[in-house]
Amino acid sequence: MNAGPVAVVTGGARGIGRATAAALIARGYRVVLGDLDLAVTRATVEETVGPIAVWINNAGIMPTGRFTDQGAALSGRVVDVNYRALVTVSGLVVARMLERGSGTVVNMASATATKPLAGLAVYSGTKAAVVAFSDSLRRELRGTGVRVRVVLPNLVATDLGAGITAPRGFSALTADDVAAATVRAIASRRFATTVPGWLGPLLSVSRLLPHPVQDWIDDRVDSDRIGLGGDPAARAAYLRGLPPAE
């Protein structure tokens, strides 16, 4: 029996990453969970398991609250985890995929990349950067056999969203919802996959509206409850549970 293709999932110990790993295994992939030292992970996997067919950059952190209360250290950590690490490891992974002429990188973004929310200034900024980086890289890699995809989920009921209530008219996704969409994105011809699917057109329309109209809609659905209205105890517990900064 032939061994399945190799996939690496960063941030795969819990939440979306864990669900994605399980979904990939169910489809015959050999899955490796990314270590904090992602450069070492890439080298070790290729030496001991085989060429990496799919790399999913899922690791991320999401502090909530007003930007002026967040502090430079925590803001910098969000940038490091959500964006800097993704860019660094993508350079290593894509270079190896180019040598083979095949491979797919899937970067986990967020609906807040295109619809920024109060209380998520740095998080939204990093996710917008992920989308822009990924789209630029996608264009550079046309015709090489290496593909780049992004997934933009709405609020997900995982540790990252602990204590947060979805806005009026919305409900939180499950990790399995996002995992299924992520696996579909690997083979999709579309660059961006929103979760749920109907969110994409809604976000496109929202971006065309004047900011006063966007603010009026946000007030009606109480979107501020995501970034500014989470349960303080639950959010504090989430931050305490993050791996220590390197």
Q: Which of 29, 83, 123, 238 is catalytic?
A: 123
Q: Among this protein's residues, is 238 annotated catalytic?
A: no
- 188 contacts 128 by C-beta, under 8 angstroms: no
Token readout for 59 is 């690791």
For the record, the structure tokens of 34 come out as 């990314």
Angle between helices 175-187 and 15-26 (to 10 degrees): 50
Q: In what order do the strands lie in the sheet with 30-33?
A: 30-33, 6-9, 52-57, 103-108, 146-153, 192-195
Measured between alpha carbons, how far is 212 from 226 in angstroms, rounded to an integer?
20
* In contact, 149 and 193? CB cutoff 8 Å: yes
Supply the residues annotated as catalytic.
123
